[in-house]
Amino acid sequence: MRKNIVITGYGVIAAKKISKIKHLDFQEFTFPVGEVDYSNTELKNLLGIAAAKELSRTALLGIYALKQAADNAGVTTNTPGKKSLISGTTVGGMDLTEKYWQQIDNHTDIMLQHDCGSCTELTAKYFGFFDECTTISTACSSGANAILEGAEILEAGHSDIVFAGGAEALTKFHLMGFSSLMILDREVCRPFADNRAGLNLGEGAAFLVMETEEHALARGAKILCNFAGGGNACDAHHQTASSPDGEGAYRAMKQALIDANISPSDIQYVNAHGTGTVNNDASEMAALHRIFGEKMPQIESTKSITGHTTSAAGAIEAVICIKKMQENPSLRYVMDNSFGFGGNDTSIIFSSPLECGRPRPPKNITASEAACTPTIAARCEITSEDEIAEIKNYLKPAESRRMGKILKASLLTSLKALKQSGIDVPDAIITATSLGCWENSEKILDDITEPKPTLFMQSTHNTIGSNIAIYLKSHGYNITYTQGAQSLDCAMRKAALLINSGKATSVLVGLHEETTPKYRELMEKNGVTDFQAIHSVAMVVVKKNN
Amino acid sequence: MEQLIAELKQRIIESLNLEEVKPEDIPNDDPLFGEGLGLDSIDALELIVMMEKHYGIKLKDASEGKAIFQNISTMADYIAKNRKK
């Protein structure tokens, strides 16, 4: 039987209502938000962090939720076992970067906190008991993907206790970005209502403490619920719009049900992604109808209370799901949906602790397949901007007109590697990038109050992997790691995990990085000199029989 | 009007990065979206930004763009009637 993964604690911080901006220095922004009602100074006081210490709000919110989760699960430095932190964030240290950007030459050290991976490392450092950090950046599904990753690495035996979730602070950067996409509601959002008019952005953090049932019982931990299953799929439709039939959402829910080995009729409650935009809710409802037919379970969106907390949403809503089950013991199975830009769609299912573990069969793989280890079947690398011009052989000018250099480079190396391997569409696309689409982010930072829809749409890290998926129409597993120099290690571990568990037979793994002269100059002042203008490596990983 | 139309075509090419398209390639009455130039929803958002920046026109809802951005003539008409600068 597969190992049963259980939840033994959680911590959460989020807004309790939608209101005008109070703490972020952006009073001129008139759309309402779900802002956590503590200033940074108050958060630092509560956490015993010196007021003068610069730490991103994303990290502060993350630490707050993690502290609560550790207390809730009774995990301390003395608790034996390997402890991993898996955090979903897309904003990372952007709140500090944008605050200092106009005088960044005098605050170069701020750049050391900018990237998502550094933000997670600084969060972990507060506790001193984490043996490893993994950051997942798939925009609005990051938190849900972190929880799914937690279950996968526990099942594979890579860790003993996982803290998985997400953290995201409100920033001018993404408030203006969403505003330029014209999908913000001036009122409190109305998910699934006929008169819905957009979403409200929010902030917050939530983390679950996850371990195998065996480990939890051995240390005498209280089991709150089981992680029953999860599914990750890509809509592969558009960078900012969901497909009319909700293909990605449908596949994610379907796979989660298969992973949990249950029927749609077993699900009693769905915490929907339900952002309140015309497009998302129509697409999600189409997918829900495809899954549940006429027998719809209770479906709700809690984003009219918390706001859309983007990377934290999947984790905050997982906590809401678990609390629902605690309050109502008749709930046996609940589902948490999270969908991100680029169609990074994830669905996870929890089951009541009264259910005796996951009634999942052993995986349908033969012993010889179980011994498979992955091998690199093809590889393509580019290291200079001149080489990107070759994309012309693959794309028409109209198709590439909006792509920045990292999108062109990553698509080019991916297509060439796939061609070499003779595989048209891989089963999964895994992206590693420490900095993501920095060039576009820098252009946005230079004039942050100007709306720039195209640049914003291509500023999230997962734009790279979803751009490839959209081109290939690849609906398989799609995830992006942003863990500094360890990003590729995370990606390769995942490729092995997907192949060895039988979830994929071919995986496109990419390491894609771009920098600008300004970024290199700033990092040089920080003593880091090994950045290239562009570096893109794509590999096709397949299984190999030992 | 002719001057506005010429200016508009140039601005559309610039704001949407249509490098390979020349102003004379955009007929005044051909659809801009779907067929024709093949623009999409993100282009519509860029056109909304462009109208605000150059002509001081603010749209409250992206769906208002649908009627305005049918083709160059409808767009020029709307700008001529509503421009603030």
Domains, in order of start, for chain A: 5-351 (3.40.47.10), 367-544 (3.40.47.10)
pLDDT of residue A360: 59
Interchain pair B45, A453: CB under 8 A: yes
pLDDT of residue A356: 58
Interchain pair A182, B45: CB under 8 A: yes
| Mean pLDDT to the nearest integer, B37-55 | 92
pLDDT of residue A530: 85
Distance between CA atoms of residues A452 and B54, nearest Å: 15
pLDDT of residue A2: 82
Whether A308 is catalytic is yes
| Mean pLDDT to the nearest integer, B28-44 | 87
Structure tokens at A39: 């200033």
pLDDT digit string, tens, across residues A436-457: 999 999 999 999 999 999 999 9
Q: How many CB atoms lie within 10 A of CB B34?
A: 9
Q: Kindly report the nearest CA distance between residue B73 and chain A, in angstroms.
A: 23
pLDDT of residue A332: 95
pLDDT of residue A502: 86
pLDDT of residue A527: 94
pLDDT of residue A361: 55
Mutate to test the interface with A, among B12, B20, B26, B46 (most CBs of A within 10 A): B46
Whether A107 is catalytic is no
Distance between CA atoms of residues A318 and A93, nearest Å: 24
- B chain contacts of residue A451, beta-carbon cutoff 8 Å: 49, 52
pLDDT of residue A358: 56
Q: Kindly report the nearest CA distance between residue A247 and chain B, in angstroms.
A: 20
Segments of A75-153 assigned E as strands: 83-88, 132-136
Mutate to test the interface with A, among B26, B49, B69 (most CBs of A within 10 A): B49
pLDDT of residue A371: 62
pLDDT of residue A363: 55
Residue B38 has pLDDT above 90, yes or no: no
What is the total residue count of chain B? 85
Interchain pair A402, B42: CB under 8 A: yes
Low-confidence ranges of chain A (pLDDT < 50): 368
Show Cβ contacts of residue A474 under 8 Å, excluding neighbours closer than 6 positions.
A234, A236, A425, A426, A429, A468
Whether A114 is catalytic is no
**Predicted ipTM?**
0.92
3-state secondary structure of A3: coil
Q: Is B18 on the interface with A (CB under 8 A)?
A: yes
pLDDT of residue B41: 87
pLDDT digit string, tens, across residues B6-24: 999 999 999 999 988 999 9
Distances (CA, A) of B82 to A406, B31, B57, B59: 39, 21, 7, 11
Query: What is the percentage of chain B residues whose pLDDT exceeds 90?
Result: 68
pLDDT of residue A17: 97
Distance between CA atoms of residues B23 and A340, nearest Å: 37
pLDDT of residue B34: 80
Band of residue B56 on the pLDDT scale cut at 50, 70, 90: very high
Distances (CA, A) of A299 to A197, A198, A269, A376, A444: 19, 19, 6, 43, 37
Residue pair A73/A210 in contact (Cβ under 8 Å)? The answer is no
Interchain pair B46, A453: CB under 8 A: yes
